[in-house]
Amino acid sequence: MAQAQMRRAIESGVPDNQQFLHPLLKKNYGNWKYHDRPRPGVLHHVAHGGDEVWTVRAGTQRQMDVFTIRRLCDIADKYAEGHVRFTIRSNIEFMVSAEAKVAPLIAELEKNGFPVGGTGNSVSMIAHTQGWLHCDIPGTDASGVVKALMDELIDEFRREEMPNRVHLSTSCCEINCGGQADIAIIVQHTKPPKINHDLVANVCERPAVVARCPVAAIRPALVNGKPSLEVDEKKCICCGACYPPCPPMQINDPEHSKLAIWVGGKNSNARAKPTFMKMVAAGLPNNPPRWPEVAEVVKRILHVYKADARPWERLSDWVDRIGWPRFFERTELPFTKYLIDDWRGARVNLNASTHIRF
């Protein structure tokens, strides 16, 4: 009888990145002597063996059509030895093995509308969530906010003149993929969901919706003889968590879904410990296509930080040093009791279990 054969493993994860690396990066992997930045947007790595690599970083719009991707690949083939990589915050990087290739590559990128920058102490490209393009619950278009804001901040992307690097992010709902950042723009619902009772029984798994609510504000109810749900509006914190599992709990609203700005988030352990961000501006109009009110607040915070922070202070370090009262004085943002909330009672009061309450 034939010997049983081992079944081959089915791999379905990220492929091994080594096969895609620029040959000099592969050859010198983990063996670099030093690196520097000859100009904003360009990294220069020198290996122990003497090899040198110049990396040119450019900003992209993240949501890309196939023509843009083809154009970026054509630029890579013609000007950058056929290699690209997408890196942090939707930037694209091209690697070349000779300094003489850097200037023509930069000129070609800029000519095609891809600004070069985003290294060192610059304002990075804004990390953002999917928005209207391919998510089912967004209250705003994160990609649109990013485009509008980066149009205004492009000079700070191209220069390295901030006290430290500045990461920005946007998020189109309150509860899911919005990330921590030095400055984050996040949707803020201000009214409890409006329930379409005709649809709840057909569309929603009611216990799942009840369990989603962090403050136990949702109860099953019979409305017009049909099974539905009701919301205790005094408890509801307008988080929108009930909307993804139950679209009839409509919370997005052209007028009452606003934008809020949070500052001081940091994910890394570099130089200081990670920090949580805090809300410093709320109730800003969700005003496409340019979101001018949001841009005004973000620019104000950035300019005061740039002028006032010491070298290498991240935004959270700067706020730590000057204190929140001075932050609001210097940025001239109005302070209300709802801002910079660090209510520790949340740990015990908010619903942290999956139990269903009736």
Nearest distance from C-beta of residue 256 to ligand SF4, angstroms: 12
Site for ligand SF4 contains 237 (CB under 6 A): yes
| 324-331 vs 315-322: helix crossing angle, rounded to 10 | 110
- Residue 276 amino acid letter: F
Site for ligand SF4 contains 231 (CB under 6 A): yes
Site for ligand SF4 contains 169 (CB under 6 A): no
Q: Are 176 and 320 in contact (CB under 8 A)?
A: no
Site for ligand SF4 contains 248 (CB under 6 A): no
Nearest distance from C-beta of residue 192 to ligand SF4, angstroms: 5
Give the containing element (helix H, strand E) for 208.
helix 206-212
Site for ligand SF4 contains 173 (CB under 6 A): yes
Nearest distance from C-beta of residue 186 to ligand SF4, angstroms: 8
Q: Which stretch binds ligand SF4 (CB under 6 A): 29-37, 104-112, 131-139, 290-298?
A: 131-139
Site for ligand SF4 contains 144 (CB under 6 A): no
Q: Which stretch binds ligand SF4 (CB under 6 A): 89-97, 233-241, 267-275, 294-302?
A: 233-241
Site for ligand SF4 contains 195 (CB under 6 A): no
- Residue 251 amino acid letter: I
Start-to-end CA span in the chain (Å): 61
In the DSSP assignment, the letter for residue 154 is H
Cα dist. 129→18, 159, 266 in Å?
Answer: 28, 25, 18
Q: Which stretch binds ligand SF4 (CB under 6 A): 25-33, 35-43, 48-56, 136-144?
A: 136-144
Long-range contacts of 218-227 (CB under 8 A, 24+ apart): 218/242, 219/357, 219/358, 220/358, 223/197, 224/197, 226/197, 226/198, 226/200, 226/201, 227/200, 227/201
Q: Which residues bind ligand SF4 (CB under 6 A)?
A: 129-130, 135, 137-138, 142, 171-173, 176-178, 192-193, 212-213, 215, 217-218, 231, 236-242, 251
